[in-house]
Structures are given as C-alpha cells and as structure tokens.
Structure 1
Amino acid sequence: MGACLALCSLASCASCLCGSAPCLLCGCCPSSNNSTITRLVFSFFLLMGTFVSVIMILPGMETQLRKIPGFCKGGTSIPGIENQVDCNVIVGYKSVYRMCFAMTCFFFLFCVIMIRVRSSKDPRAAIQNGFWFFKFLILVGITVGAFFIPDGTFHDVWFYFGLVGSFIFIIIQLILLIDFAHSWNKAWVENAENGNKCWFAGLLSFTVLHYALAIAAVVLFYIYYTMPDNCTEHKVFISLNLIFCVIVSIVSVLPKIQATQPYSGLLQASIISLYTMYVTWSAMTNNPNRKCNPSLPTGQVQWWDAQGIVGLIIFLFCTLYASIRSSSNTQVNKLMQTEEGGGSGGEGVVGEDGIRRAVDNEEESVTYNYSFFHFHLCLASLYIMMTLTNWYKPETNTQVMQSTMPAVWVKMSSSWLGLGLYLWTLIAPLIFPDRDFS
C-alpha cells in the first residue's frame, strides 16, 4: 500500500507540487478520501526512513561499503582520489540515530506548523495535503545534515529522548490496539446478530488463542527469566502484569460495564493482555543482569533479536492502522484527538481529464488532529530508533552499546499506564454517567 501511494504521488507530482487538497489518485489506491491519502503518504515517509535504517544496520554493511573504491575513509582507494566518507557513521547504531533524528525533526516541524488547523479552508491545510515533492526534499535535506552532526554526546543525549518518546509511543500503540479490538469485536458481533452464528465462533476462537498465547508467555517467562534465589524484579514484573490482566479481563465482562458498553468484551481484554506480555518480555530482555536475562548477547550486539522483530511488526501494523482508522469509539477518539468516523473510503471525483481525484472531506472540519498526527509520527521515529538498537545505551568513550535498567523501567511503567488507560475506557461511563460515552 505504501509503495502504491509513493508511485501515485510521484506520478501526480505535477499537480501536487504546488497544489493542496484534493490530490490526484491512481486507480490502484485503496481510498479516495483526502484525509486518508495524506496520512498514508506521511506514513510512507516514516516507513521509507525505517527501511533505510534497517538496511544500514544490517550485519556486514560496513564491510561491503569499504570495498567500494574511493568511498570510505581508510578503505579501498583509487590512486588520485581521496576517500571522504566516514563509513563508521553511516552504518550501525550511529546511522539509525541520525536517520531517526532527521525523521523526528521533520515530523516535529509539521507538528508545530499544523497547530489548531480546524478545516481544509485553513491555508495551512494546503501544506498538509500537498507539496509532496518539496516535503520529500526537506526530509532528504534534514537527513543529510544529520550525518554531519559530530559524535560528541549526541548519541548519549538522543538516547534519553528516545526513552521518553518511546514510552509515550508504547501507550499510543496500546490505545490503537484497543481501538482495533473494539472495531473488530463490534463488526463481528453485528454480523453474528444478523443471523450467522459462525462469527461468534470466530470471536471465541481468537479470544481463546490470545489468552492461550499470553498464558504460555507467562509460563516461559517464569522458566527462562527467573531463578529460585534471584531475579526478584522479573518475578514482580511478571506477577503484577498477570494480576492486572486478570483484573481488566474480569472488569470488561461485568454486567454494569456491559450495560453501558455492550461491545466491550474479552476479545479486547485478550489482545491487551497479549500485548502487555510482549512489553513485559521486551523489558526483561533489556536487563543487564546476565543471570536473569538469557537474551543478553555474550559478544557483539545483535541488532536482530526476536523481541525487536516482533516490535517492528507491531509498529508497522499500528502505523498503517493509524493512517486509515475511522473509529466509532468515542473515548479512544478523545485520547487520540480524532473525530468519530463514518468510514475511510469514498468514490472520488473524476475530473474533465478523466483522472480520479481525492474527495476533500474536511471542508467543514478536519477528521483528525493534524498536529497530533505528526506528533504521533515524531514519537514513532524515536520508537523505531530504540527498537532497531534493542534499547541499548551507546557509550561515548568506548563506542559500544550497553543494556541498561532505565529501558526496563520505561517499558514496564508504560505497560502499567497503558493498562490503566484501558481500564479507564471501561469504567469512565460509570464514574461520569452524565457524559456521553456512546
């Protein structure tokens, strides 16, 4: 989908260079609502930067670059040509930090520019929904400049920016999963109520699967990440999150909760429980205590471990879902600063030239908060930086990566806050009966 949008935006460059909404569409594009197309293209920019970071962190990349004559300093040279590029900077964790720094700055810039845009009639909406070629040039320019930042304390300072940003993004991921589970549960329950009981069987099957995976994860955590006379922190983490997941699961099916939220159920709770166990696992893999962390590498840092790959998959899903979501969950929309949606698709408008164009569906009001959307992508850039580097802290003097306890506490506290937010979406209508949570 992202590649499709890239081709579409390039093919329609003549219209989008200086134009605003509505942007041109290709026949292959899945939606014709201008708001959805814009979010998808911005998400494609993020995924493109992620793809570049993944390439530059691959094992052996520096070795391959040094084989290029006249490219790397200290590498193979051509007589009369001086090697100019420091290949130590454009590969490994340094390249990831600089690439993600550039993406963070890019999205933060648009976050500031788009504050308080209310409709597509605002002149700034034209910048949001058009000028794609110039936006791409700005991103490239910031990226090139980022690779000229001196090492110094840059990586050490940016690591803590990554910790804070990733903490918030993990919570946003959980909110998106709540929204996805709510929409999934509502759609399948409505289908089942229309006469086909197989949808109930499907809901039950997926709910049981999610809980089975969560329980299996808890058992494996106790086996591999605890010891009888050690690893007290891990025992507390696993036990607390297990108790919290049981609590939210029970609350989600209480009669009073069901009366105010008929589409609340165990499917949402099972997905949240499974995600919580993933975050718990991810946190324990960052414990520098080797006795309690069998995932800790014994030699060189391993960029691609299991929890990092799972985290990348969840990130890709949540990023794309945030770009096309059109939720009817009022509480989640308030948390995500979006409007209640009525569907992401449209038929489009066919111009006199026969080309289908996107529908400007934001003339009255925007369907999502422009500034918050860019803030979300800004945080996503920091999360990708931490995920691709396994949340390891760079040491300025030794130029190596070390696992640290702050990363453990950031992940665990984000999981607890996320569970608290999910619990709030369940009990808020009971605490404030005068408010409309329908």
Structure 2
Amino acid sequence: MSEMHAETVGYVRDTMLPEQDPPATSVGAIGWLRENLFSGWFNAILTVLALVFIYWVLAAILPWLFSPTWEATSLNECREILRDMGREGHFSGACWGVIRDRWVQLLFGFYPSGLYWRPILAFVLLFVALGPVLFSDYFPSRMIWFSALYPFLMPWLLWGGSIWTPILVVVGLGIGYGVFRVVAAATGNLAGLIAAVVAALVWWVFIVGPLSGLIHSVISLGINQVDSRNFGGFMLSLTIGVVAIAISLPLGIVLALGRRSDLLIVKALCVGFIEFIRGVPLITLLFVASTLLNIFMPPGTNFDIILRVIIMATLFASAYMAEVIRGGLAALPKGQYEGADSLGLDYWQSQRLIIMPQALKISIPGIVSTFIGLFKDTTLVSIIGLLDPLGLSNAIRADSDWNGIVWELYGFIALLFFIFCFGMSRYSMYLERKLQTGHK
C-alpha cells in the first residue's frame, strides 16, 4: 500500500500559483516607515521622541518666523504691531522690517546706488564663465575663452577705471608665455617657468600702471572708478571668496607637485611655505595684511586693502589645497606612474594627461570642503575693519531704530551663506557621480 501511495504523490509542482501583490505594509509609504522609522521597539521610541522634539521646535519657531512686521520702520514699531496682535515677549515675533530696510546695504555695502548694475553684471557673468568649466556637457567649448577672460573683466567691472589696465594685464600673460617658450627651448622647462613668472610680475608691477595711464591720456576709455572703502556686504565676501577660490586651486596643485618633487630646493620651499601657512591662523595673516604689510612697503605706496586680504586668503587656502591634492596623488597606485613612463610621456605630459585628472577626482570632497571653509572664513575680514555682512550688521544695530536686532540680521546672513555653500556641496556630489567609473 505504501509503495502504491509513493507512486501517486508528486514532489515537484507541475502548476504555478498566480503571482500576488506584496503586502501593503511592506511597500510604499507604509513600508518605508516600517523599515526606517518603526523597525523595532527601540527605533519606534526614538522616532516618537524625535517627532515630539520637532513639533516643540517648530511650534516655537514658526510663529516667530511668520511675523507680520515686514513694513515696520523701527524695532519699536515692530513691538507695537506684535502687541496689537496680543503677542508679548522678547521672542514673540521677528522684526523683518530691518531686512526690508537694509537688505540692499547687506548685499552691496556702500557701493554707489547708481552703479549697482556693475556688481550685478559681474555676478551674472560669473555664472556664464563657470558654465563651460563646471558643466562642459551643456555649454559650447568655445565659451572657455570667455571663462579665461572673466578674471580680468570682473575687477574692471567692480573697481572701474581705464579699460587699458585689464588689457595690459592680459598682455602680461602673453609676455610670460613668450619668455617661457624662449627660455625653455634654451635651458629647460623649469628655468623657462621661473623666467616667465618673473617677467610677468615685472610687467604687472612696474609697467602696467604707468603704461595704462599714458594710453588712457591719449585714448580715454573706461568707467567710473569706485574706491575699495565703498565695498561691503555680501558683495565683498563674494569677491574675496571667488578670487581666492579660483587662484588657490592651481596654486595648490603647483605646491603639491613641488612638495613631491625630487628637486631639493623646490621641495624645501614648498614644504616650508605649506607648513608655515598651516601653522598660522587666518586672522593673524589678515592682521598682517591690514597693518604690518604697509610697514615693509616703500613710502607712499598705496596697496589696496582688499587686494591684500585676497592675497592672504589665497595663500592660506592654497596651503590647505596643496595637502588635499597631495593626498590624492599619494592615493594613486604606482602602476599609474609606471604606465605614464611606459608611454614615453615626460613629467608634465604625464601629470596633465594621466596623474592629475585622477588625483583631482579622488580629492573632490576635500577640495570642495576647502572651498566652503574659505568662503565662510571671508567673514573674518570684519575683525580688521572691512564691512562684510557681519561688519554691516554691527553698523546697522548701532542705529537707534534697529538697536537690539540680532537674530533677524544673523539669520538673513546665514541664509545667504547657506545657499552658496549648499550649492557647492551639491555640485561636488554631481561631479562625483559624473566621474564615477568603478563598480558600486
């Protein structure tokens, strides 16, 4: 009987059951909540406590944020508006009238109001110039020429003066390149590079000013000049940050290569510079730029304070940038260097085509972090008397109409910095995804 039963029972299914939908509690919003917020009793308790804390914070902040005081002209008027609504107390509501009254000053400082179009144009052209560099897939390759010319156009738009000055500065680059080709063909690339830098510096420091004035006296082309003391607000922070970021990256690359060089003098100079700058706080360098630097300059020399700050901020950021890039170079396998040698490439060709692109890709998070830190550090210039947004906030609070305003001003300034810093961090994530070549 058992043998007959064994022959009639099948152990392999010959028909498939119809496919069923997954349980509603494991998919969609409910499934996500169960998996991420209520996966266990401890996780559920933490979720409930977090929701209670978020409710408590929002219940205190949202009424303060949505305060109908935009049209107020003083702190006392803000308090009267809130008192009429039955909202008493120091934190009963924000006084947004100060932002309506002073937002232009927080953005442009004391820049002449009739010339606001110049910093606005410079800011718009900044995004146009960054387009071919940051989003090369969406912009024509020919626009890279405008990106190369923008560093000379932006100072002219902001400070004004003769058009011949930026033109002669560009000519200095051509002179440096010509000197490099001549000297490098005779003695080598290193000597050519040193000679090119010296020739360009001599041209810019000693020749551009007098020659520009001479040409301008014959052919007067230019726009109204604006003194640096009129610069302020977020425009000042953006100017210092953009210029320092743009220059610190190539300078950091050069310092990183110099620190890994086999040439003793070059390596010693780069190591000394990097370690000295990294061992000194930025605020110390800014004090040197604002006070001590004039002591070592010839009598009667007018060295613009904003230019001095930009130089110090650039040197400070380039030292940290050099270490970030050096880490990327050290992370590359030895086979990449050997592969470049096997192709018969010289040092600069291998760095440009094989080594440096990979090192920069590895270093993207550190590079962007250095950029963000540098941009936020521009607020330190308020300590040396420059009226960046924080410096202007102190001046605004000194006005009797707005004496006592704190959170509204600092919140508005924090929002401006957050927008730019968050944008840089998001672009870094986009660039990492774009350059991703390995398996996830």
- TM-score when scaled to structure 2? 0.26
- Please tell me whether Structure 1 or Structure 2 has the larger radius of gyration of its CA atoms: 2
More helix by share: 2
Greater RCO (Cα-Cα under 8 Å, separation 6 or more) = 1
